[in-house]
Amino acid sequence: MSGKRGNGEGSIYPYKNGYAAYVWVTKPDGKRARKFAYGKTREEVHEKWLALHAEAKKGPVATRHRTLAAFLAYYWLDSIVKPNLAPLSYVSYEGYVRLYIAPHLGVKRLDKLTVRDVREWLTKLSAVCQCCAQGKDAKRESNRRKCCAVGECCESYPSRRVIQGSRDALRAALTHAVAEEEITKNVASLVKVPKPRRRRIKPWSVAEAGRFLADAAARDDHLFAAWVLVLCLGLRRGEVLGLMWKSVDFETGELYVDHQIQRAGRQILHRESKTEDSDDFLPLPTLCLKALRMRRAQQSGDRKAAGELWQESHDLIFTTKYGTPIEPGNMTRMFALRARRAGLRVIPLRNTRHTCSSLLVALKVHPKVAQRILRDSQIAMTMEVYAEASEEEVRAAIGKLSDAMGGTG
């Protein structure tokens, strides 16, 4: 530090066991007030004082410490999450803040939040009926209320997944507050939450997958090609629904997966997915190519039938009868419906990915090609896969599928 004192530096003075300083600032309401900085050494306070000065020059400064609710809702969500993260992350964080964090911890001061507060919040949260808390039943018309609003609580406690998600959202926000030096440690990261228990679901066998596809083909299901791509390539729901015709190269038999359909709140978004590492083309097994050709014919049929009602949307491969994107949730529902109709066990759609490698073997897709397909989806190709796929029952199922497709698949 130079011997000369800067203008106004005289406001640094000994305070308790260290030093304090203040700067005159303009508050958000336009009034002038002193804002204080404290520290152990003169040096430290000087640094803070300089930073405060710079902040005051830029615009209004809040002198009071913020409540957690103010920090989360007005600052973190709007200024950090919304402009920087994917829309889906915003929707998810916003939900956690509004429904699970703010109602319980919102009034606490950001800088006074303790590990204990967080632990007590999580314990309490797991025992709060969300139907009561969010007034779900109360929102129903008076003659249709059936539980919490009529004194018979339905005990809709948040799942472990929700508890975990709430903690993670708070932790993400506090990480930001630490980075901006509003607080010194992230109390949410110091609290452990039990990991959500994973249900183990036996994936479909190749025979089951084959039966599903054969049934869908026989019914001229407009999502047939989607099921084929999910089962053979291990594509995710949003990836399949986001595919565009220009993503398919019928000449080389390749597919480029670079878009997704997502539901974010009330909107359905068609957005580009992350491109790092995904700039590879997926080779399309014959069955996929056939299914896509069928889909193309089917869509032009739909377009003709819809006439003026047809809505062109992003060159999408999978559309409703009127050309609009397919809601991801509907795809899941349709999958369950069709599985049930084909007399199969209903498994979660994403669980079908585990059948993918066996199916590729059964389809006699070249191992090199299969490996290229599986690489991105991180599905291991094991000897068991070959064993299962060579069973007679399996060969029969796939044979039946090829028949339904009118050729060799």
Binding positions for Zn ion, rule: CB under 5 A: 129, 131-132, 137, 147-148, 153-154
Which residue, 21 or 147, is less far from Zn ion as judged by CB? 147
**b/e 247-266 (16+ beta carbons within 10 angstroms → b):** bbeeeebebbbbbbbbbeee
Tokens representing 179? Answer: 């980075």
Min dist. Cβ of residue 123 to Zn ion (A) = 18
Which residue, 153 or 305, is less far from Zn ion as judged by CB? 153
Which residue, 127 or 297, is less far from Zn ion as judged by CB? 127
Q: Which of 365, 357, 360, 363 is nearest to 382 (CA)?
A: 357
Which residue, 27 or 140, is less far from Zn ion as judged by CB? 140
Min dist. Cβ of residue 162 to Zn ion (A) = 15
Which residue, 152 or 249, is less far from Zn ion as judged by CB? 152
Min dist. Cβ of residue 327 to Zn ion (A) = 26
Q: Could you give the CA distance from residue 218 to residue 42 in angstroms, rounded to a whole number?
A: 81
Cβ atoms of residues 381 and 395 within 8 Å = no
Cα end-to-end distance, the chain, whole Å: 79
Q: Could you give the CA distance from residue 280 to residue 230 in angstroms, rounded to a whole number?
A: 18
Min dist. Cβ of residue 342 to Zn ion (A) = 35
Q: Could you give the CA distance from residue 172 to residue 395 in angstroms, rounded to a whole number?
A: 50
Cβ atoms of residues 291 and 409 within 8 Å = no
Q: Could you give the CA distance from residue 67 to residue 48 in angstroms, rounded to a whole number?
A: 22
DSSP states of 280-319 as a string? PPEEPPHHHHHHHHHHHHHHHHHHHHHGGG----TTBSSB
Which residue, 148 or 191, is less far from Zn ion as judged by CB? 148
Cβ atoms of residues 121 and 104 within 8 Å = yes
Q: Which of 317, 256, 243 is nearest to 283 (CA)?
A: 256
The amino acid present at 126, given as its one-letter code, is S
Which residue, 50 or 129, is less far from Zn ion as judged by CB? 129
Min dist. Cβ of residue 132 to Zn ion (A) = 3
Beta strands in 332-402 (DSSP E): none
Min dist. Cβ of residue 206 to Zn ion (A) = 43
Cβ atoms of residues 228 and 255 within 8 Å = no
Which residue, 61 or 129, is less far from Zn ion as judged by CB? 129
Which residue, 115 or 133, is less far from Zn ion as judged by CB? 133
Min dist. Cβ of residue 215 to Zn ion (A) = 38
Q: Is 260 helix (H, G, I), strand (E, B) or coil?
A: strand
Min dist. Cβ of residue 152 to Zn ion (A) = 8
Distances (CA, A) of 328 to 152, 195, 236, 270, 351: 34, 26, 10, 11, 16
332: Cα separation from own chain's centroid: 16
Min dist. Cβ of residue 203 to Zn ion (A) = 35
Min dist. Cβ of residue 147 to Zn ion (A) = 3
Cβ atoms of residues 26 and 32 within 8 Å = yes
In this structure, how many other beta carbons lie within 10 angstroms of the beta carbon of residue 206?
Answer: 28
Which residue, 154 or 268, is less far from Zn ion as judged by CB? 154
